[in-house]
Amino acid sequence: MLITIIAVVVVFGGLIFFHELGHFSVARLFNMGVSTFSLGFGPKILKKKVGKTEYALSLLPLGGYVALVGETDEAELPEGFTKEDSFSLRPAWQRLLVVLAGPVANMLLALILCWIMAFTWGEHVLLPSVGAVQQDSPAFKAGLKPGDQIVAIDGKETKTWQDMSDAIAGSNGRTLSVDVMSQDGQGGGDVRKVEITPVRSQRKTIFGEDETAWLVGVRASGAFATNELSASESITSGWKQCWNMIVLTWEGFGDASRELTQQIIDSGWIPDLIVAIARGGLIPAGAIAYAMDVKAIGTMNVEFYSGIGETLTEPVLLPPLMDVSAMDGKRVLVVDDVADSGKTLKMVMDLIDEHGLSLDGSASIRVEARSAVIYKKPVSIIEPDYVWAHTDKWINFPWSTLPVIKP
Indicate the pLDDT class of residue 363, thresholds 50, 70 and 90: low
Give how far Cα 48 sits from Cα of 38, 58, 203, 333, Å.
10, 12, 58, 63
Say yes or no: 192 and 175 in one domain: yes
Say yes or no: 258 and 392 in one domain: yes
Residue where a domain stops, chosen among 100, 121, 142: 121
Q: What is the mean pLDDT of residues 198-226?
A: 72
* β-bridge pairing 273-277 and 218-220: unpaired
Residue where a domain stops, chosen among 77, 101, 121: 121
Residue 406 in domain: no
Residue 243 in domain: no
Residue 236 in domain: no
Q: Which among 123, 147, 148, 138 is positioned nearest to 168, based on CA atoms?
A: 138
- Dihedral angle of Cα 223, 224, 225, 230, to the nearest 10 degrees: 160
DSSP H or E run through 191: strand 191-196
**Angular region, 369: left φ>0, alpha ψ -120 to 50, beta rest:** beta
Say yes or no: 94 and 135 in one domain: no
- pLDDT of residue 279 exceeding 90, the answer is no
User: Which pLDDT score, from 0 to 100, does residue 307 have?
Assistant: 44
Q: For the chain, give the percent of residues with pLDDT over 90.
A: 17
Tens digits of per-residue pLDDT, 347-360? 888 877 766 565 54
Domain that holds residue 295: 250-396
Say yes or no: 130 and 88 in one domain: no
User: Which pLDDT score, from 0 to 100, does residue 309 have?
Assistant: 41
Give the CATH number, domain containing residue 329.
3.40.50.2020
364 vs 140 pLDDT, higher one: 140
338 vs 14 pLDDT, higher one: 338
DSSP H or E run through 62: strand 53-68
Indicate the pLDDT class of residue 178, thresholds 50, 70 and 90: very high
Sequence-separated (6 or more) residues with CB below 8 Å from residue 19: 63, 102, 103, 105, 106
User: Which pLDDT score, from 0 to 100, does residue 195 have?
Assistant: 93
Give the SS3 label for residue 335.
strand
Cβ-based neighbour number of residue 222 at 10 Å: 18
Give the CATH number, domain containing residue 206.
2.30.42.10
Residue 27 in domain: yes
- pLDDT of residue 287 exceeding 70, the answer is yes
What does pLDDT average to over the chain?
Answer: 80
- pLDDT of residue 227 exceeding 80, the answer is no
Cβ-based neighbour number of residue 59 at 10 Å: 10
Tens digits of per-residue pLDDT, 37-52? 888 888 888 888 888 8
What is the distance between the alpha carbons of residues 394 and 400, in angstroms, rounded to a whole number? 13
**Angular region, 5: left φ>0, alpha ψ -120 to 50, beta rest:** alpha
Cβ proximity of 365 and 357 under 8 Å: yes
The DSSP annotation for 199-251 comes to EEEEEE-TTS-EEEEEE-SEEE---EEEE---HHHHHHHHHHHHHTEEE--HH
Tens digits of per-residue pLDDT, 70-121? 887 676 788 888 888 888 888 889 999 999 998 888 888 878 887 887 788 7
Say yes or no: 109 and 205 in one domain: no
User: Which pLDDT score, from 0 to 100, does residue 180 have?
Assistant: 92
Please report which residue ranges of 68-191 form alpha helices under DSSP H: 92-121, 138-141, 161-169
Say yes or no: 270 and 319 in one domain: yes
Cβ-based neighbour number of residue 326 at 10 Å: 10
- pLDDT of residue 275 exceeding 80, the answer is yes
Give the SS3 label for residue 172.
coil
User: Which pLDDT score, from 0 to 100, does residue 73 have?
Assistant: 67
Distance of CA 73 to the CA centre of its chain: 45
What is the distance between the alpha carbons of residues 22 and 97, in angstroms, rounded to a whole number? 10
* Widest Cα–Cα separation across the chain: 85
User: Which pLDDT score, from 0 to 100, does residue 325 have?
Assistant: 57
User: Which pLDDT score, from 0 to 100, does residue 185 have?
Assistant: 46
Give the SS3 label for residue 321.
coil
Cβ proximity of 98 and 26 under 8 Å: yes
Cβ proximity of 40 and 61 under 8 Å: yes
Cβ proximity of 367 and 328 under 8 Å: yes
Tens digits of per-residue pLDDT, 316-348? 666 655 555 556 678 889 999 988 878 888 888
Say yes or no: 270 and 190 in one domain: no
Residue 90 in domain: yes
